Chains A and B, each alone.
Chain A
Amino acid sequence: MAGSRDFAVLDLQNNSDDLGVDLQFQDFGEARTQPAIVSSSSSQHEQTIHFSEFPDSATDENEQEKIGPMIKRQKKDGHSTPLLPLHPAEVHVAAILPEGVHGLVNLTQVVVLQVKEKQYTSRAVKDLSQKLPVSSLSHLKRVRRIPTVRNESECQKSDLVTVKPDKMFVYLSFVEEFGILCFKEFGDDNIMPVSSEDAARVIAILNEKKVDLSLFSNKVFVSRVARYAPKVREMYDKVAPLWPCSFHEDSYLTRLSSDDFFSQEKVNMIVKHMNKAIELGYKANEEGNPAVGVVMVDHQSGQVVSAAKDSRLIHPLQHAVMVAIDYIAYRQGGGVWVHNNLPLIEESLYGPCGINDIYTSTSNIELGQVVENIGCIEEFRSNSLEDLKTRNAEEIGMNSMTTYICTGIDVYITHEPCMMCAMALLHSRVHRIFYCCPDLQLGALGSITKLHTLPGINHRYEVFMVTPTK
């Protein structure tokens, strides 16, 4: 198994006992580069199939077929090993975006006819739009013009002599509609003629729909087109040469998907907070919990407003995120777990979570970045629990009159949150979420699903994954 380390995309762990975690990372890394062809519902299974591309895990795959992907995954706990601190210069912050915004383009294949004469084009478009409308491809232009290839000498003459007319093509509908198999390879012009049997079938179907076939030449083709409307310039540039389509740039998504969305200064800030979360993860791990830590920061002021480590060992719901949310509630005059007379929770919750000692403790880990910022530590000291008890909520910057639950808060989590935590953050109306380590078993913000991109949810936050570049 040792060889598999060479393939690890995100080798955060140095623990040789936990190679399974590395495998999960490489799985994820592979899947990230090829998600677009896969439909969103089946992408989970597709990800595991990529295991087979790594020689070391070939045996795993056979085993996996027997017991099913989910059961296999549940054997390993992705949280169990603490993360190493990040270094600001070697970090990549990437937004977790809806399918089809980054990576490969989602293409589909359509049946195409050539218009017999150029002047028939508008009639053909009108005829098809009435008799064969395809609403799910409405982002495509109906017609594609392929300029006739001329050699250079012809080109020079072309200004004077009459030019040979361009070829005009119109798409009909998906190949599946006509019972034609998808083509595997396409030439440069992205147009492939179908067999005569297939062509006859297409003509028969068109006759049934009373399409005016006199407008078209009798050859039938297949062409690749974009399945969905491109939202980002990068995507448009990839699909437009295949078949013309409309493009309404989503400037917000374009900004998010760009690599330099965060300035270096911001990245430093992100790394600083994330390293705090990682250190909290160490603390949690020392107590036998998963090494998950959370830091919550006010987006406007940059002030740390909550921090928590995982304590699900003593209370199954006290994932770090849930504890951090409850701490915010406590600061606003509410909260449950601090007041609750569950003795097992009381002692472990906020006291050891350190507020005072998190950032001052001298640990073996290199956390220069964290300790450097004395101001932040001071601020954290002043926000310690003892102080909180004597001051009221308004004085410590969490004005309960203006702050509604967790609005405007950036959340830094060591690991991808599970569905419970992701949904809790959604209920709490947080602003942004940063996490380091994907969780392929439970993760709800990129792995199992992308909760923040689903239609119908009542609040949206941005999600970013922070990964070391090396």
Chain B
Amino acid sequence: MTDQQKDQWMSEAFSQAQVALSSGEVPVGCVFVFNGEIIARGRNTVNETHNATRHAEMNCIDQVLMWCKSKLLDHRIVFPKISIFVTVEPCGMCADALGQLHVSDITYGCSNDRFGGCGSVVNIPKLYKYPMKIQKGIQAEKAVELLKDFYKGENPNAPTGKAKRKIKTT
């Protein structure tokens, strides 16, 4: 996998994040790459689905399961060979979900101080001894900019009083 390819896939993830931003979601985007081909692209759909667990990674996992079904492949063989490109550090939930699916290659942009699961708040791969190869800091500034853009606005679904809190990103 060359750096050029990595950048290209990360840019794909960013275009998903952009879509999320324009539909009022937390701007996080994600692509899953299998055999050099993107088999899932997803973004946050938390507000749209009223389900706080619908992060970009989770949506992508559902897509991969469907893809596997259509190709008559066993997802247990596919997931370990998948590379993930996500704009923001996966949260504890996503990191554990990916770990349980034996995903081993994750590349992310900026860290998430609020609920990052790859070292920021908890370190899932270390805690559960998942053999994950994690690379961070790819186009991090861009991811931070997007998040800042989002948190300038307000979460349309948040109850009054909880809306608008500043996010710290590194």
Q: Which of A322, A405, A423 meets B115, CB within 8 Å? A: A423
Describe A's contact surface by its main secondary structure: loop
Q: Is B121 part of the binding interface, using a Cβ–Cβ cutoff of 8 Å? A: yes
Known: A423-B93, A427-B53, A448-B128. A342 touches B65 (CB 8 A): yes
With both chains docked as a complex, state the minimum distance between the C-beta of B12 and any C-beta of chain A, in angstroms: 22
> Quick check: A449 and B127 within 8 Å, CB to CB?
yes
Q: B90 to chain A: closest CB distance in Å?
A: 10
Total chain A interface residues with beta-carbon distance under 8 A = 43
Which of B59, B65, B157, B162 has its CB near the most chain A CB atoms (within 10 A)?
B65
A423-B117, A448-B128 are known contacts. Are A334 and B50 too (CB-CB below 8 A)? Answer: yes
Contacts of A402 in B (CB 8 A): 159
Contact check, B121 vs A457: say whether CB atoms are below 8 A apart. yes
9-residue interface stretch from A7-15, A95-103, A325-333, A347-355: A325-333
List of A residues within 8 angstroms of B93 by Cβ: 419-421, 423-424, 426-427
For B53-68 the 0/1 string (1 means CB < 8 A from A) is 1100011011001100
Q: Are A325 and B100 in contact (CB under 8 A)?
A: no
From the candidates B49, B113, B120, name the one contacting A334 in the complex (CB within 8 A). Answer: B49
CA A80 to CA B48, docked complex, whole Å: 35
Nearest-Cβ distance from residue B142 to partner chain A, whole angstroms: 24
Does A400 have its Cβ within 8 Å of any Cβ on chain B?
Answer: yes
A420 touches B51 (CB 8 A): no
Cα distance A3–B66 when bound, in Å?
48
Interface code A398-416, partner B: CB below 8 Å = 1, 0 otherwise?
0010101111000000000
Q: Would A317 and B50 count as touching, CB distance under 8 A?
A: no
Partner of A405, one of B52, B61, B75, B95: B52
Q: A404-B159, A420-B93, A427-B53 are in contact. Are A454 and B122 (CB under 8 A)?
A: yes
B101 interface residue per 8 A CB criterion: yes
Cβ A420 vs Cβ B52 within 8 A? no
In the complex, which residues of chain B have a beta carbon less than 8 angstroms from the beta carbon of A420? 92-94, 96-97, 100
Chain A residues, CB < 8 A from B84 = none
Specify the chain B residue showing the minimal Cβ separation from A71: B129
- Given that A423-B91, A449-B122 are contacting pairs, would A325 and B113 also be in contact in the complex, using a CB cutoff of 8 Å? no
Hey, which chain A residues are within 8 Å of B162, CB to CB? 404
Q: Would you call B100 and A336 a contact (CB within 8 A)?
A: no
Q: How far is the CA of A427 from the CA of B94 in the complex (A)?
A: 11
B158 sits at the interface (CB 8 A) = yes
Tell me the bound Cα distance from A340 to B58 in angstroms.
Answer: 13
A422 cross-chain contacts in B, Cβ below 8 A: 92
A406: chain B residues at CB < 8 Å are 52
Asked if A329 contacts B50 (CB within 8 A), the reply is yes
B124, CB-defined interface residue at 8 Å: yes
Does any Cβ of A come within 8 Å of B114's Cβ? yes
Cβ–Cβ < 8 Å partners of A336 in chain B: 45, 49, 51, 54, 59, 62
Any chain B CB within 8 A of the CB of A43?
A: no
**Closest chain A residue to B52, Cβ basis:** A427
Closest residue of chain A to B91 (Cβ to Cβ) is A423
Annotate B64-94 by CB proximity to A: 1 below 8 A, 0 otherwise: 0110010000010000000000000001111
- A419-B92, A449-B122, A458-B115 are contacts. A407–B159 as well, Cβ < 8 Å? yes
Q: Which B residues lie within 8 Å of A424 (CB)? A: 52-53, 93
List the B residue with the shortest CB-CB distance to A342: B66
Q: Is the CB of B91 within 8 A of A329?
A: no
Which one of A325, A448, A456 contacts B52 once the chains associate, using CB atoms below 8 Å? A325
Interfacial chain A residues near B114, Cβ < 8 Å: 456, 458
By a beta-carbon cutoff of 8 Å, the part of chain B in contact with chain A is 45, 48-54, 58-59, 61-62, 65-66, 69, 75, 91-97, 100-101, 113-115, 117, 120-122, 124, 127-129, 157-159, 162
List 29 A-B residue pairs with CB atoms under 8 Å apart, sorted by A's residue number: A315-B65, A316-B61, A322-B53, A325-B52, A325-B53, A326-B53, A329-B49, A329-B50, A334-B51, A336-B45, A336-B54, A336-B59, A404-B159, A405-B50, A405-B157, A418-B96, A419-B95, A419-B128, A420-B92, A420-B93, A424-B52, A424-B53, A427-B52, A427-B91, A449-B122, A449-B127, A451-B92, A456-B121, A458-B115
Question: With A342-B69, A402-B159 given, can you name 11 additional A-B contacts, CB distance below 8 Å?
Answer: A334-B48, A336-B54, A340-B62, A419-B92, A419-B93, A428-B53, A448-B128, A449-B127, A451-B92, A454-B121, A454-B122
